[in-house]
Amino acid sequence: MSKVFKCESCGADLDFQDSGEIVQCPYCGTRQTLYSDSYSDEISDEQRRKIDSLLKRVFILLEDGEFKKADKYCERVLDVDPENALAYLGKLMAEKRVNSREDLADCEESLWLSNNYYRSVIYAESDLKSELESYEAKINARLENKKNERDYNYALSIMKTADNEDALRTIANMFMRIKDYKNSYSLAQECINRADEMKRESEKFAEEDRIAREKIEIQSQEQAKTQAMNETINKFIIFLLCAGICALVYFTSK
């Protein structure tokens, strides 16, 4: 008769026929040996009392900072009840080296990075699940705040030395991504205003430069025309002088 066992990695149901059979999880690929006495559909009252006693010992050890011992006691619980959320919670606390459940909210990284957190959540009843998710939410809020502070300080530092329109608009986008943090929104508007002012000044300068170039071009054209006219007049004067000289010589020779 086929029996059901849980994958030790992802918690998926595994079917096996014979004790000692090596089974590969179809979901995560983990291979493990299953024994017919490893799992039972029902946990006896005696086993339940043992589990409760072991869990009390787990959390006492955690309070005392005996993290390795606490983890071992959790494993003893899981040998009897592989879906015990409190045992995975104990392992999570031992992994994070915290003395109380509330201290999990002070962890430096997301609890979802831990497989023990994942298992404690999926096997937990609603109250414990909500509690654990609240710790994760506090961690994420703190991490988000740290990221916002880092981005804010970086944008603020380069804002002080920004001297062109493109740089200011880039900094404004940085502040807009964290617009609800501190005075990021007003700083973004300040950068945009400065960028717009630089754009107007640049356009004004470009227009003034265009007008100046046009004036220079007109002056150059007028000078060229004047020079050409002067050259024509000079040639005509020379022609008249030559003609006069020739006429004088002609009449003098007679």
Residue-level length of the chain:
254
Give the pLDDT of residue 248. Answer: 78
Closest CA to 96 of 82, 117, 75, 81: 117
**Along the 254 residues of the chain, how does pLDDT read in single tens digits?**
344 566 767 777 776 554 445 667 777 777 665 544 444 446 788 899 999 999 999 999 999 999 999 999 999 999 999 999 999 999 999 999 999 999 999 999 999 999 999 999 999 999 999 999 999 999 999 999 999 999 999 999 999 999 999 999 999 999 999 999 999 999 999 999 999 999 999 889 888 889 889 889 998 898 888 888 888 888 888 888 888 888 878 788 76
**Residue 85 contacts residue 120 (beta carbons within 8 Å):** yes
Q: Tokens 């024509």 correspond to what residue?
A: 232
Task: Label residue 74 exposed, middle or buried (CB < 10 Å: 0-12, 13-18, 19+).
Answer: buried
Give the pLDDT of residue 26. Answer: 79
What is d(CA 147, CA 107) in angstroms, rounded to the nearest whole number? 16
CA 242 to chain centre: 89
167-222 pLDDT tens trace: 999 999 999 999 999 999 999 999 999 999 999 998 898 888 898 898 899 988 98
Dihedrals φ, ψ of 102, to 5°?
Answer: -60, -25
What is d(CA 254, CA 247) in angstroms, rounded to the nearest whole number? 11
Report the sign of the C-alpha dihedral through residues 65, 70, 71, 74, in that order: negative
Closest CA to 20 of 35, 31, 38, 8: 35
pTM of the model: 0.60
Give the pLDDT of residue 42. Answer: 65
Give the pLDDT of residue 39. Answer: 43
